Amino acid sequence: MERRDWVPFLALESATLLSGIGNGVAAIALPWLTLQLTDDPAAAGLVVAAGALPALAASLGSGVIIDRLGRQRTSVGSDVFSAVSAALIPLFGFLNVLSFPLVMFASVIGAVFDPVGVTAREAMLPDVARRAKLELERVNGVHEAIWGLAWLVGPGIAGVLIGWVGATMSFLAMAAGFVVSAVLVGAVCMPTPPAREGDAHWLADAIEGWRCLLRSAPIRSTAVLSTVAFTLAYSVVGVVLPVVYERQDRPEALGVLFMAYSGAGVIGALAYGALGSRVPRRPAFVVGLGATALLPVAYVFSPTYPVQLVVMAVAGLLAAAVNPIVNVVLQERVSDEMRGRALSALFALAYAAYPVGYAAAGFTIKAFGETATFTWMGVATVAAALWAMFTPALVDMSAPEATSGGPGAS
């Protein structure tokens, strides 16, 4: 019998942790550095928003790159370019030419390559699961927990680095993390298939990835419903709650809410990784979607801080099962040669939807107020959960379709 090999899985998750922490550091260091250079809050917002369109464009094409060049090679290349983009900022500072346009330039480069690396590493999960003889539920649960942990500790590390070496030099630590991530993935023999030869135009290849995503009813439904639910949830967390607590001048209370949501999410993802193979997927998926409606609904009926804190933790804990379930459903039903393109279509759907949710939340707060915004978001999320409960498309989400060479067949 083939020996169980944990090394590729451990290397991949270590790389995920390092690259995720780098992204968490950048989320704080980029606007901080921009404020130091310009003293303009609008510029700080612009440098963050500038990455949205490049990230969307990269996610649309990343699947073609992954399936043609290979997952391991693509992941390593993405981390190398991310390291270069991070190192540019201290280099510009050393040359005494650092300015807002150059910060924007480095930010856009990083936004182009980051989605490619994220998708490539996620495409490797069934391969390392097969090598380590682990169930897909466990691997995906751990992967989501590692990613959540990275984003939980990344901003804290950013604060320490900025206080210790300054915002400019903090990007050197980010660059080093990306380099180590590239070495971990590149040095370990990942059990991935070789690069695929293709004569089709890259656009036709990308369209085939979207067709693959939409062709299977379980994949299509889990992708769309989870995107809708998390678009609303992230809009509450990223727009509505900051408005509420900024008006109350209570930034520390907002920070504790975020930590409760993220920390509970890490625990929930680990719990699903341990128990997911024994839990029926559809009930877990429906409960996870419904959990994203808890916070806006709770605010409407009881806008007190202790209630919000408890609800935030419960929502993070229960909703953590949604992304691993979406990943497993896709991995079981998509062949090896299509996995990168199908995943890139899934990520592109999210990258396109989330900014729409942020904008809608901002406009409705301005026009109708906080309570009305919480109300329509809660109603919309509950509707998504009810749809998942009753739609026939999810009846067989636990029964993978036959694929050629996919993990579901192994």
Quickly list DSSP for 95-136.
TT---HHHHHHHHHHHHHHHHHHHHHHHHTHHHHHHHHT--H
Q: What is the pLDDT of residue 202?
A: 64
Both tokens of 140, joined, read 């995906």
Positive or negative CA dihedral for 16, 17, 19, 24? Answer: positive
- What pTM was estimated for this model as a whole? 0.81
One-character DSSP codes across 263-322: HHHHHHHHHHHHHGGGS-HHHHHHHHHHHTTHHHHHHHH---HHHHHHHHHHHHHHHTTH
Both tokens of 260, joined, read 């409760």
Q: What is the pLDDT of residue 399?
A: 53
Q: In whole angstroms, what is the distance from residue 181 CA to residue 122 CA?
A: 14
Q: What is the pLDDT of residue 174?
A: 92
DSSP state of 394: G
Both tokens of 410, joined, read 């192994």
Q: What is the pLDDT of residue 182?
A: 94
Q: Structural domains in the chain? A: 1-192 (1.20.1250.20), 208-395 (1.20.1250.20)
Q: In whole angstroms, what is the distance from residue 362 CA to residue 139 CA?
A: 37
Q: What is the pLDDT of residue 276?
A: 79
Q: In whole angstroms, what is the distance from residue 336 CA to residue 396 CA?
A: 21
Q: What backbone phi and psi angles, to 5 degrees, belong to 194?
A: -70, 170
Residue 269's nearest CA partner among 152, 400, 95 is: 152
Q: What is the pLDDT of residue 408?
A: 39
User: Residue ranges of the chain with pLDDT lower than 70?
Assistant: 1-2, 41-42, 44-45, 48-49, 51, 189-202, 204, 399-410
286 to 229, 337, 385, 405: CA distances (angstroms): 11, 30, 5, 30
Say if residues 361 and 173 touch (Cβ distance below 8 Å).
Answer: no
